[in-house]
Structure 1
Amino acid sequence: MLTLGVQHVWLVALSVALSSTLGVLLGVLSYRRPGARRAVLAVTGAFLTIPSFALFVLLLGLVGLGTTPVVMALTLYGLLPVVRNTITGLLQVDPAVVESALGMGLSRRQRLLRIELPLAWPIVLTGIRVSTVVLVGIAAIGAIVNGPGYGNLIFNGLARVGSPVAADLVLAGTLGVVVVAVLFDAAYTVLGRLTTPKGLR
């Protein structure tokens, strides 16, 4: 259980890091352009409409079995909440604050990094948090392509339906996923307190 738990946490953490980096970047690049915003949100939203079994199998044909197809799929599934919240957070920054920064002579990049993103951070972090919880559950399905984590217990139990240990295996895997989700959520609570300015809490 402990080994599978470490694998599950690592798998989700890696996927969240990739989807968060890409999602924030897409949000920053598109939030000022309505057409680009709609296109980015439509594409990232379309990824969530693809059934996870189908996406894992499609990626299996491209990159083979193991961790790689799972990470790729989870990264795609995790984009929408991050992109949407990044765009929302940046659009909600008070224009007067941006104008003041402009009057102080800050460049576009400086305004983004020093003013806009810090003010939008609580909303962005909420998007990353939602994405993480979603990916914790989807990651379990990755066992269908030999991905790591608690999904292996669940699928082993399903493969042994009718045997005395089937229900125990499925229950153990399910509880493991729940515990990982709770741990991630607690970690985000602490992260939010440490990284959010007091005036924005």
Structure 2
Amino acid sequence: MWDYVLDRRGQIAQQALQHLSLVVQCVLLGTVLALLIAMAVYRSPRATALANGVSAIGLTIPAFALLGILLAPFGFGITPAVIAVTFYAALPVLRNAVVGLAGVDPALIESARGMGMSRLATLLRVEVPLAWPVILAGVRTSTQMVMGIAAIAAYVLGPGLGGFIFTGLSRLGGANAVNSALTGTIAVVLLALVLDLLLVLAGRLTTPRGIRV
């Protein structure tokens, strides 16, 4: 296997970069969308319940099924991969953002409003920072989950390390089939670990000192 990796190190590096780029961009997009939705619904119990229900139901949809559905309108390539990965990336963040924002002490919100802060300023300067550790936990969960989903996106010819995995699985019993599948799988795991460590560091740098655990 080591010889297999050395012979294809350039291709592995390129597809690892594509995989990382796909995941990071989709997680960022999914986080922004999830935060906007959470900010819009967290004050309404009914809207919050609806958002949590959508998040829970969305996570039960098999990635293969969603990618298959997206093939009809978008065909093969990057577009269905980005849509699917972003969809799954947003769900854990949405759930955590709603929980985190709804869990902020009302007394702190009233104090901020009493100091003359507008509702938007209170949201951005008080509620979001206090809820940030919970939101970031959702981002970490989302990132780990979509690392694997991004590999499945190779089913629709999406970019990334899933190409090695699907190539190996399609050639089981042939030369280097196992090496190909293992290379893709191990590379995905290593990328997930590295990205999680970066998110932990980002959490330490962005979480207000007074609420760090």
* TM interval, short-chain normalised: over 0.9
Per the TM alignment, residue 45 of structure 1 is displaced from its structure 2 partner at its CA by 2.2
Count of aligned positions: 201
TM-score between the two structures when normalised by the length of structure 2: 0.92
* Aligned partner (choices 184, 187, 193) of residue 173 of structure 1: 184
CA shift, 1:84, in A, is 1.1
Structure 1 consecutive aligned stretches of length 4 or more whose deviation exceeds 4 Å: none
Deviations 1:144-183 (A, max 9, x none): 1000111000000011111130000000000010011001
CA distance in 2, matches of 1:47, 1:88: 17
Alignment of 1:115 onto 2:126: yes
Q: Distance in 2 between matches of 1:112 and 1:49?
A: 31
Map 1:1-201; keep pairs closer than 5 Å: 1-201=12-212
Q: Which amino acid aligns with 2:162?
A: G
| Counterpart contact for 1:157–1:165, Cα < 8 Å | yes
Question: Hey, what's the Cα distance between the residues in 2 that align with 1:139 and 1:130?
Answer: 14
Instruction: Name whichever of 5-14 and 45-54 sits farther off.
Output: 45-54
Q: Supply the RMSD in Å over aligned alpha carbons.
A: 0.9
Structure 2: 5+ residue stretches without partners: 1-11
Structure 1 residues not aligned, in runs of 5+: none
Deviates more, 1:126-135 or 1:41-50: 41-50
8 Å contact kept, 1:44–1:76? no
> What SS class does the counterpart of residue 78 from structure 1 fall into?
helix
Deviation at 1:60, TM superposition (A): 1.0
Q: Percent identity?
A: 48
